[in-house]
Amino acid sequence: MKTLVALACAGWLTVPNADPPSTWPLAFGMTAQDVANVLGEPLVYDHGRPGNEVFHVTVRTPVPGLYPVDKRIWLQFRRGCLTGWKNDWRRPPRWF
């Protein structure tokens, strides 16, 4: 029975368009506008001086389950170019 449940879960995750957005299209050296275009979401300024900023993007992910999950991506820019990023999975507060 455990094998059947595991196979069902694996099959659900392989359904087309069910996978969460990833950061694979990001590349070092991209500008903030390039990153916003690739991710399809506007960047939200967090802190830093002009040219050396930290931004984040919150993307809703279609994770199967009873609760929604958001994916926040933190983006570090130096001299106007992307130098690093980090995924931050979090659960929003319950609404019920």
Q: Residue 19 has what pLDDT?
A: 45
Domains of the chain: 2-90 (3.30.1450)
Q: DSSP per residue over 61-91, as a string?
A: E--SSSS-EEEEEEEEEETTEEEEEEEEEEP
Q: Which residue's structure tokens are 């980090």? A: 86
Q: Residue 49 has what pLDDT?
A: 92
Q: Residue 78 has what pLDDT?
A: 95
The answer to whether the beta carbons of residues 14 and 65 sit under 8 Å apart is no
Please give the Cα distance from 11 to 7 (Å, whole number).
6
pLDDT averaged per 10 residues in sequence order, the chain, 96 residues: 60 48 76 90 92 87 66 90 85 58
Q: Residue 84 has what pLDDT?
A: 92
Q: Which sign does the torsion angle of CA 91, 32, 37, 45 carry? A: positive
b/e code 22-58 from CB counts within 10 Å (16+ = b): ebeebeeebebeebbeebebebeeeeeeeeebebbbe
Please state whether the predicted TM-score (pTM) of the whole model is above 0.75.
no
Which of these, 73, 15, 80, lies nearest to 51 by C-alpha position?
A: 80
Q: Residue 63 has what pLDDT?
A: 65
